[in-house]
Amino acid sequence: MSSKMHRATTTAPELEKVLDETKRSPFTARLSAVHVRHVNKVKLIPYNGLTDPKIFLKSMYIAINGAHFSTEEAMLGAAKCSYRELTSVFLQHHSFFMIKEATNADLWTMFQRDNEPLRTFIERFKKVVSNIAIKDDAAIGDLRNALMFGSRFREDLIIARPSTLDDALHRANRLYRD
């Protein structure tokens, strides 16, 4: 029950953080001011943050090149925004989210050392997982496989499989507090 309560309280601040980030984006003012004069809507595939952004930059390029600026818009400077300028602004703004210091291989080769406390191992695990785009199911499986064979926490993960990675990490937190 406590894990469900935790999930309910932690998603709201993350949502607010994402919304604040998008409001501070340098694209917001420029792109919202561009008027696209097509009968049909421009359909851009939303960027999920897990894949290579080249596809999305290309679709943005096609949409921008297809936009026709009126003389008023050109005088306001909207037409001065080239694809290269917008791409560089995009990469400057979102490069923080694209830099990955770890890989899935780092997670797969990780293991709990002999006499390593659970707290220390979980901290190492969290550092690697936070730098990788991975689904919860895979991360939980990697966590279970990385734990020392016969450990109390590993058995707990096998018996009662957690629904999310946060749930598993909270269980670990409770175990090393006891």
What is the C-alpha to C-alpha distance for residues 25 and 88, in angstroms, rounded to an integer? Answer: 13
The Cα 62–Cα 53 span in angstroms is 14
pLDDT at 73 over 60: no
- Using DSSP's 3-state secondary structure scheme, residue 104 falls into helix
DSSP string for 150-165: T-HHHHHHHHS--SSH
Give 150-174 pLDDT, tens digit per residue.
888 888 888 988 989 888 988 888 8
What is the pLDDT, as a whole number, of residue 178?
Answer: 59
Residues 125 and 143 sit within 8 Å (Cβ to Cβ): yes
Under the banding of pLDDT at 50, 70 and 90, the label for residue 11 is low
pLDDT tens column, 81-135 = 666 776 777 777 666 666 556 777 888 888 899 888 888 999 999 888 888 888 8
